[in-house]
Amino acid sequence: MAKFMQNIVKMDMSVLSIMNKKIRNRYLDVIMPKITLIGGFIFNISLIILLFFSKSRIIYSLFMSITVSVTSSHLLKRLISRNRPFETIDKIDFLGKEWKDKSFPSAHTAAAFSNAFVLSFYYTNFTILFYLLASSVAISRIYMGVHYPSDIIGGALVGLTVATFFI
């Protein structure tokens, strides 16, 4: 198990270095903080309100999957208590606000993948778009220095797993 965890940390640091340092540029510095909002509270509430008028089961599915995904993520954050990259790595390029909660799993990513799963079920023609948006949120979290790659993998798994219960 120790060797497995060492490999995870090694992968996290390698991918984080590429995403946060090597591909960094002024265009992505503007775009990524905007993309990350797709996994945030305001976007998700807006999405539910927008779809409220569809009078479909999608409202229940979205509301429940987002609520349970994000709540589960925050409970896991407290249990695992992993510090964020900008708190532990001296030379990280950090964008955005300093989150006070812990790092694993990414609640933004959980919400984004939960949305992608539910929306893909109801709007199958847009499945690729929904998962591209969710993946973009996940990548933005690493790029911005607020999550490790394993945090977003964990968040995606939480979001996808929870969403399956509300379809």
Question: Domain for residue 91, yes or no?
Answer: yes
Question: Domain for residue 126, yes or no?
Answer: yes
Question: Domain for residue 15, yes or no?
Answer: no
Domain count of the fold of the chain: 1
Residue 46 maps to which CATH number?
1.20.144.10
Dihedral (Cα; 105, 106, 111, 114), 10-degree rounding = -50
Q: If DSSP codes are grouped into helix, strand and coil, which group holds residue 4?
A: helix
Print pLDDT tens along the chain (167 aa): 778 878 887 888 888 888 887 888 889 989 999 999 899 888 988 888 887 777 678 889 999 999 999 999 999 999 998 988 888 887 777 777 677 788 899 999 999 999 999 999 999 999 999 999 999 999 999 999 899 999 999 999 999 999 999 98
Question: Domain for residue 45, yes or no?
Answer: yes
In this prediction the pTM is 0.90
Which has the closest alpha carbon to 72: 113, 127, 34? 113
Q: Which helix (H) or strand (E) holds 16?
A: helix 2-17
